[in-house]
Structure formats: structure tokens, C-alpha cells
Amino acid sequence: MYSWIFSHLPGPLWVRIVLALVLIAAVILLLMNYVFPWLSQYSPWTESTIGMMLL
């Protein structure tokens, strides 16, 4: 999968390396800002209240 993506990036080797790094950074930012905050409502790790149901 990853080798397929890498081989389909345009340009010489160094351009493809830069593009790959940009793609990785974009995916991480997307995860941190949108996916994980959404996912965390199902995470059981952070409850600190007592005796009542959480929203």
C-alpha cells in the first residue's frame, strides 16, 4: 500500500520524499484535530466526575 502510493507520487526522488512527509504531516494533523477529539467521547480514560452519568 505504502510502496504503491510512493511509486505514484510525481517528480524525482527528493520531491517524492518531501511529498510523502507532507502527506504524513497532513494525516497527523487531521487525526489530532478532528478524528481523535471525536473518538475520545468513546474513550473510558478521562472520566473524573462522580455519581452522575456523563454526557
Partner 1 sequence: MGGFGEILITLGILLILFVGWELWWTNLDADRAQTQVTSEFLKDLKVAAPNSSDAPEKNPNQNPNENSNEGDEQGEEQSKDFGPAPITAIPGGETFGIFYIPRFGSNFAHPVTNGVGMDVLNTVGIGHYPDTQSPGELGNFAVAAHRQTHGQVFWDIDKFQDGDKIYLQTRKGFYTYEWRSTEIVSPSAGDVLFPVPHRPGVKPTTSILTMTSCHPPFTTRMRIIAYSELESWRPADAGAPAEIADLVQKTMGN
- Rounded-to-5 percentages of helix, strand, coil across the chain: 65, 0, 35
Residues with Cβ within 8 Å of residue 4, at least 6 apart in sequence: none
49 binds partner 1 (CB under 8 A): yes
| Shortest reach from residue 27's CB to partner 1, in Å | 9
Residues 1-40 vs partner 1: string with x where CB under 8 A? Answer: xx-------------------------x--xx---x--xx
Which residues are at the interface with partner 1 (CB under 8 A)?
Answer: 1-2, 28, 31-32, 36, 39-41, 43-52, 54-55
